[in-house]
Chains A and B, each alone.
Chain A
């Protein structure tokens, strides 16, 4: 029997929205999978058949969590590849309307796919969000109502945790006859994903599986063409041998995470409430995202007169791993497109995202060091007392 609460991840690691540490159940399977799942599932001999059975079992595990048919689930090399395969694949269908609708706060892979579609001459409608990061449903309805080959919406935002109104967005898509791709990367394994999608993409290393595994689920009957010449594997969505050991570990991790979520997500939710309160107690802090309708594990804020890079480095010296959407901490020196779309303060940005099993004491210690870290960062810029 797996315990309801997973064992603690590495102390101080608070960046689960970037990568969740490997789930212990996945670690156990991974070792065994390299022993038993090395053969090509496409071969007829005994070891190949065994590999095929293991792969089919993993597909069924994932489908069971999603509540969909297993033959609609394909394994791809990453969540980003899954998003690209969905966007290009659906837009490549002959007579697909040459127009793409996406929220302004999607994962960068969707934005890159949209930019590429635009460069190929397709129209792209980017739906704005409110200051909490949630799409305006009226604007969404208007955008899909104009017709589109595909609409893309995340289940919840990866930087501020705000859930998107999937039910309303999907209803608008159905009415307009536009297929909806849901990026469920932050939700899958933490909360049930509403049955409001035509295509669904996610990434195993966000739910405690190994990196190198993405999933793409497609509703029966919806056409999504291969974006690389298909070889018969993975329903033609991606050619080449699959990473079977990683897939087996990913499926086991997802099943375990989904089972544990009923107990673990409310616990994380209370801890992120605690972090949001600690942010709010810092002078001149802007706590980000919807306070209620949000993911259980993400809390974010922007802190006036502090720079994100210094905050991340100072917290690292205190033993905490967190991320920042401020321009100074990005490779391109641009503030995060999510913060820009929300129209909020972009500097001094911190995102804390809790891995399953995080110790309460880690969160308490983070909340205890936060005021001093922010004060020191402000003093370092000569901004104390402003």
Chain B
């Protein structure tokens, strides 16, 4: 199978420590925004990225693999797709 992470079953089990709004931004800007901001949260915390660019669904997990972070998956929300990443390094 592809290298994508499995999708968790529920969103919001754990409130994110930081929400980054990258809606309306085209690739690779949502990933750049994620890379810039993840240092603001403590190890073990979760950052949420709101991104409606279709590439983000692939590129955020790919970035996590490159940077040793944990992609928790993406959900459709009333605010658009919401991607969750746990800072593990």
Interface residues of A (CB under 8 A from B): 128-131, 136, 284, 286, 302, 304-307, 326-328, 333-335, 339-348, 381-383, 386
Given contacts A328-B26, A335-B54, A381-B28, contact A345 B59 (CB under 8 A): yes
In the complex, are the beta carbons of B27 and A304 less than 8 A apart?
Answer: no
18 new A-B pairs (CB below 8 Å) besides A328-B26, A344-B58? A129-B2, A131-B3, A136-B1, A286-B62, A302-B62, A304-B63, A307-B26, A307-B28, A327-B53, A340-B58, A341-B2, A342-B2, A343-B2, A343-B58, A345-B59, A346-B55, A347-B28, A383-B35
* Category for how many chain B residues contact A: 20 to 34
Closest 6 A/B residue pairs (Cβ): A343-B2, A345-B62, A347-B28, A347-B27, A343-B4, A327-B55
Cα of A327 to Cα of B30 in the assembled complex, Å: 13
- A-B contacts, 12 listed (Cβ < 8 Å): A304-B28, A306-B28, A328-B27, A335-B54, A335-B58, A342-B2, A343-B58, A343-B62, A345-B59, A346-B59, A346-B62, A386-B35
Cα A381 to Cα B29 with chains together (Å): 8
Q: B32 contacts the other chain (Cβ, under 8 Å)? A: yes
Known: A327-B55, A335-B58, A340-B58. A130 touches B32 (CB 8 A): no
The proximity string for B residues 1-21 relative to A, scoring 1 for CB distances below 8 Å and 0 otherwise, is: 111100000000000000000
- The CA-CA distance from A334 to B54 in the complex, in Å, is 6
Cα separation A348 to B63 with both chains bound (whole Å) = 12
Task: Provide the residues of chain A in CB contact with B58, threshold 8 Å.
Answer: 335, 339-340, 343-346
Contact residue among B27, B31, B35, B36 (Cβ-Cβ distance under 8 Å from A327): B27
Question: A305 contacts which chain B residues (CB < 8 A)?
Answer: 28, 31-32, 35
- Contact indicator A381/B32 (Cβ below 8 Å): yes
Which residues of chain A have C-beta atoms less than 8 A from B62's C-beta?
286, 302, 343-346
Please indicate the chain B residues that have their CB under 8 angstroms from the CB of A130 in the complex.
Answer: 1-2
> Is the beta-carbon distance between A307 and B66 smaller than 8 angstroms?
no
Q: Which of B23-49 contact A (CB under 8 A)?
A: 26-29, 31-32, 35-36
Q: Which residues in A have their C-beta under 8 angstroms from that of B1?
A: 128, 130, 136
B59 proximity list for chain A (CB < 8 A): 345-347
Contacts of A131 in B (CB 8 A): 2-3
A13 to chain B, nearest CB (A): 27
- Does B31 lie within 8 Å of A335, measured CB to CB? no
> Which residues of the partner chain A approach B54 to less than 8 Å between Cβ atoms?
327, 333-335
CA–CA, A307 to B27, complex, Å?
7
Q: Which residues of B contact A382 (CB under 8 A)?
A: 32
Q: Which residue of B lies closest to A309 (CB)?
A: B26
Shortest C-beta distance, A356 to chain B (Å), equals: 33
Residues of A within 8 A of B31 (CB): 304-305, 347
Are B27 and A386 neighbours in the complex by a CB distance under 8 Å? no
**Best-buried of A130, A302, A306, A346 by chain B (most CB within 10 Å):** A346
Question: Given the complex of chains A and B, what is the CA–CA distance between A347 and B36 in angstroms?
Answer: 17
